[in-house]
Amino acid sequence: MSRIPETEVMNDPASVDAYTEITALGGLANFLMSKLNPSNDNLNIADIGCGPCGYYNELLNIYQNSVFTSYDASALMLEKAKLVVNPEKVTLVNSFIPDASLPANTYDIVLNSLFLHQLPNPAPCWDTIKQIGKKGAKFYAFDLLRVEDSDACWAIVNGMACGSPSVFQQDFYNTLRASFTVEEIEQQLLDAGLVATIETQEIYPNCSVIYIVGTL
């Protein structure tokens, strides 16, 4: 199936409400946590496209002595995030990426979860990692992979999000069509001059996630 991009910034109140409620129950982003294994702490960490920060309990548990700057272009998402994060540890910033005003060469880790597929053009994700990460910084990206066809998308939505609000089901369907393939992501990394390891994992029949882990 060809890629069909979805609405980039999540500004629709019903979508934001549904997304926030569902991620608070333990969303897909928790898969990313299994890849985060700090060899040290006391880090300066950036999260791009942080959304409602539904996975921050786990994140702050892993990096107990680190501070986070978490970027999103949606004011509504950041309002939700404000309700759950500790402001001493997490600074929330409204920013539409790409954003030349973000601090250069600053972060020890740059991560993003379910952000890449949201972009009409994925290059700003990789360019931002290069812009704001220090030399030697680790980067982590986590996302879903595109699904073969519309019927397969609905089978996944009906299986995994059965009983969720219809707006969430539609958003999930749109995501499965807007996501990239492994080959496309490999090409994006090549184009960006980034070296990373890629791992995939099937989490439901015909539905897989991808983990991209690299060093700048």
Ligand X SMILES: C[S@@+](CC[C@H](N)C(=O)[O-])C[C@H]1O[C@@H](n2cnc3c(N)ncnc32)[C@H](O)[C@@H]1O
Site residues (vs ligand X, CB under 6 A): 8-10, 23, 27, 29, 49-51, 54, 71-74, 77, 96-97, 113-115, 118-119
CB atoms within 10 A of CB 39: 5
In whole angstroms, the minimum distance from the beta carbon of 72 to ligand X comes to 5
Please provide residue 139's backbone torsions phi and psi, each rounded to the nearest 5 degrees.
-125, 145
Q: In the complex with ligand X, which residue's Cβ is closer, 76 or 137?
A: 76
Q: By C-alpha distance, which of 147, 130, 135, 160 is closest to 210?
A: 147
Residue 80 forms beta bridges with which residues? Answer: none
Q: In the complex with ligand X, which residue's Cβ is closer, 73 or 85?
A: 73
- Rounded CA-CA distance 116/74 in Å is 15
In whole angstroms, the minimum distance from the beta carbon of 104 to ligand X comes to 17
- Rounded CA-CA distance 28/22 in Å is 10
In whole angstroms, the minimum distance from the beta carbon of 166 to ligand X comes to 17
Q: In the complex with ligand X, which residue's Cβ is closer, 7 or 42?
A: 7
Q: By C-alpha distance, which of 113, 148, 147, 101 is closest to 35?
A: 113
Scan for tokens 């994992």, then name that residue. Answer: 201
Question: Which position's Cβ is nearest ligand X?
Answer: 51
Burial tier of 104 (Cβ tally within 10 Å: 0-12, 13-18, 19+): exposed
Q: In the complex with ligand X, which residue's Cβ is closer, 77 or 110?
A: 77
Q: In the complex with ligand X, which residue's Cβ is closer, 10 or 137?
A: 10
In whole angstroms, the minimum distance from the beta carbon of 133 to ligand X comes to 16
In whole angstroms, the minimum distance from the beta carbon of 8 to ligand X comes to 4
